[in-house]
């Protein structure tokens, strides 16, 4: 398949490389001018999109996505698929999808879960918004880049699923870190805490699969000095997107709002930037109730 790939950063680069490794003809573009094994680099985004059956974008935010869409949509062939894997606000995703449809394209918004490790390993999960036809057209690409792809409904619903999932993740990670810090001050051994919670009603992905306490549970970024698997600033981005969406549809999300505010304080006012989002635990360890 002839594929254009725009945005070859920490996520997009490995994804494009996996597509090329699988035998697809990949032409890429990135403003940083990076080199990706197996990927032919184009001079512009429009050049990367011209004559491609599928154009994939992996971009930092909605404003950049809309700017790139303005450039590449006129260059794309009618009937081609525009597959956006960025995590952006729902409104931007739906605006670009509408623009693409009017140009005779098949738009899909498909943000991912799995981080840089999942991008490199080809084990991402895709949350997809768009039509059945568009989803079927690129299903084989999802199988190369990831281990699961779920069609969540019409355009924008992929972004909706991503931000709802990550709002839960942010809230539960904070609660998990708070609980470990409380257990410490109560004299409860962390291993005993894990053994109880991981097999009872406090069970969660944050506790069982990504434990924020070093040396407890499966290996996680906590065991590597909190070097990011999923950076705190990326969690903050997703929590802000969730609150932006909640405000747009008048949804009451007090826990999501509190999580956004805590991660904003951690990233922008403390030492959270460049650390894993589970580094909330050492933060709570050093704080008192006041």
Residues annotated as part of the active site: 162
Q: Tell me the C-alpha distance between 264 and 233, whole Å.
A: 8
Residue 116 DSSP SS3: helix
Residues 6+ apart with CB under 8 A from 112: 11, 85, 87, 118, 119, 124, 125, 126, 127, 146, 162
Other CB atoms within 10 Å distance of the CB of residue 53: 17
Residues 6+ apart with CB under 8 A from 187: none
**Cβ(125)–Cβ(147) below 8 Å:** yes
């Amino acid at each position: 398949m002839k594929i254009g790939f725009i945005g070859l950063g920490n996520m997009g680069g490995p994804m494009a490389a996996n597509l090329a490794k699988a035998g697809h003809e990949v032409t890429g573009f990135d403003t940083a001018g990076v080199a990706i094994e197996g990927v032919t680099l184009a001079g512009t985004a429009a050049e990367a999109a011209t004559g491609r059956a599928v154009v994939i974008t992996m971009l930092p935010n909605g404003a950049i996505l809309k700017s790139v869409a303005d450039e590449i949509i006129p260059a794309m062939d009618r009937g081609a698929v525009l597959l956006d894997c960025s995590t952006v606000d729902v409104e931007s995703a739906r605006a670009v999808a509408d623009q693409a449809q009017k140009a005779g394209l098949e738009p899909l918004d498909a943000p991912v879960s799995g981080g840089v490790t999942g991008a490199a390993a080809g084990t991402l999960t895709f949350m997809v918004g768009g039509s059945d036809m568009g989803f079927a057209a690129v299903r084989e690409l999802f199988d190369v880049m990831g281990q699961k792809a779920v069609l969540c409904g019409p355009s924008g619903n992929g972004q909706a699923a991503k931000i709802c999932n990550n709002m839960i993740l942010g809230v539960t990670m904070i609660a998990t870190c708070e609980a470990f810090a409380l257990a410490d001050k109560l004299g409860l051994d962390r291993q005993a805490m894990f053994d109880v919670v991981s097999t009872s009603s406090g069970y969660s992905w944050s506790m069982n699969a990504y434990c924020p306490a070093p040396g407890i549970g499966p290996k996680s970024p906590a065991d590597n000095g909190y070097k990011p698997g999923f950076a705190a600033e990326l969690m903050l981005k997703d929590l802000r997107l969730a609150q932006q969406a909640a405000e747009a549809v008048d949804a009451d999300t007090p826990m999501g709002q509190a999580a956004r505010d805590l991660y904003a304080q951690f990233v922008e006012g403390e030492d959270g930037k460049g650390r894993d989002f589970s580094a909330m635990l050492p933060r709570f360890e050093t704080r008192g109730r006041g």
